[in-house]
Amino acid sequence: MWIHKNDILSAMIKEGQLSIMELAKRKRARKMAAAKTLCSDISNEIPAHQVIHLLLDKAAKLHKYEKKSFDIKRISGNKIQQNVPFSLSLPLFYKKRMSFRWSKEKYELLTEREKTLLAETDLEVLTHELHDLRKREILHRRWTKDVYDPLKKNLGGAVDELHWTSVEAMRHQMHKLYLQYVNTKGHAFLDILNPKEYPKYTFSYGVPSKIKGKVGPDPLSYQKNQCFEEDRVILRCETGMKYNDTDLEQIKQNSLPQAPLGRDSTNCNKWQQTPLLNINSTPREASR
C-alpha cells in the first residue's frame, strides 16, 4: 500500500490543528475556572470596579500578558491570525452578579443620602422651634419684670388701702334703707322714687378712683414703638409739628372713599366726613 506525501502532510496539518484547538479549549477552561474561583473568593463588600481590576490582574498573571489588553494567536480554519486584541470575557452569571452589586450600592447610597437629608431637616426644624420657644421665654420674662410686676404692685397697694370694715358697714346701711322703704311703700320703682324718702344715690360714687403707676417699656410692642419714633421724626422734619401715637395711627389709616360704602365699615362721624357728604370737602367746594 503506497502512501502519498500529500496525504501524510494533510494528516499532519489536521493533527496540528486539532492539537491547537485542544490547547485553546484547555486555556479557555482554565480561564473560566480562574474566574469562577475568583468570583467565589471575592467578598460582597468589594465594589464592582475593584472586582474588574482583580479579574484583569488574575488573567494577566495566568497568561503572562498585560493587564488591560493583550494580543494572542487565534485560529480560523487553516489560517492563523496574529496580533488580534483579546479581552477577558466574563461568564453571564458573574455579569448579573456584578450588575446586582452595582444596583445595590447605588440604592444604598441613595437611601443613606435620603436618611441624612431627613435627619438634617428634622434638626433644622427642631432648632427653629427651640429658638422660637427661647425667644418667647425671654419676652415673657422681660414683660413680667417691666410691666406685670409694677402693675401688680400698684393695684395691690391701692386695694390694700381700702378699709373693708367701712365698706361692709356701708353695704349693710344701704340694705337697711331699702328694706325700710319697701316695707313702707310696698314697692321701689326707680322712676317714682322720692329722694327724700329713699336716697338711692347716697352711697354711689360718680367717678371711680384712678390708680396711676409707672411701668417700664413694653417689650412686646418694642418694634411698634420703634416704628412710631421713626415716623414721628420724619413727620416732624417735614411738617414741623409734633405727633402722638394716636395721630400716627390715624395718618397710617387708609383715606376715606368718595362716597360712603356702608354703615358696617364705618361709624357716624366718619360717615359724615366722606368727601361727597362733607360740605367743606374739596370735591363739594370745586363743584360750586
Query: Per-residue pLDDT tens for 137-194?
Result: 998 998 898 888 888 888 888 777 777 777 788 888 888 888 888 888 887 777 777 7
Q: What is the distance between the alpha carbons of residues 275 and 281, in angstroms, rounded to a whole number?
A: 5
SS3 237: helix
**For the segment 180-196, what is each residue's pLDDT rounded down to a tens digit?**
888 888 877 777 777 77
Q: What is the distance between the alpha carbons of residues 37 and 171, in angstroms, rounded to a whole number?
A: 109
SS3 271: helix
Residue 24 has pLDDT above 50, yes or no: yes
Residue 112 has pLDDT above 80, yes or no: yes
Residue 109 has pLDDT above 60, yes or no: yes
pTM over 0.85: no
Question: What band does 286 get if pLDDT is binned at 50, 70 and 90?
Answer: confident
CB atoms under 10 Å from CB of 25, counted, come to 10
- 206 or 10: which leads in pLDDT: 10
Strands 79-86, 70-76: pairing kind: antiparallel
- For residues 77 and 86, the answer to whether their CB atoms sit within 8 Å is no
42-46, 122-126, 185-189: the lowest-pLDDT one: 42-46
- 283 or 259: which leads in pLDDT: 283
Q: What is the distance between the alpha carbons of residues 286 and 224, in angstroms, rounded to a whole number?
A: 39
Q: What is the distance between the alpha carbons of residues 134 and 138, in angstroms, rounded to a whole number?
A: 6
Residue closest to 154 by CA, chosen among 207, 214, 209: 214
Report the phi/psi class of residue 77: left, alpha or beta, with left for phi > 0 and alpha for psi in -120 to 50. left
The amino acid that residue 207 corresponds to is V
pLDDT of 7 reads 63
Angstrom CA distances, 60 to 51, 87, 113, 279, stand at 14, 11, 38, 107
Question: What band does 83 get if pLDDT is binned at 50, 70 and 90?
Answer: very low
**CA 266, 268, 273, 277 torsion: positive or negative?**
positive
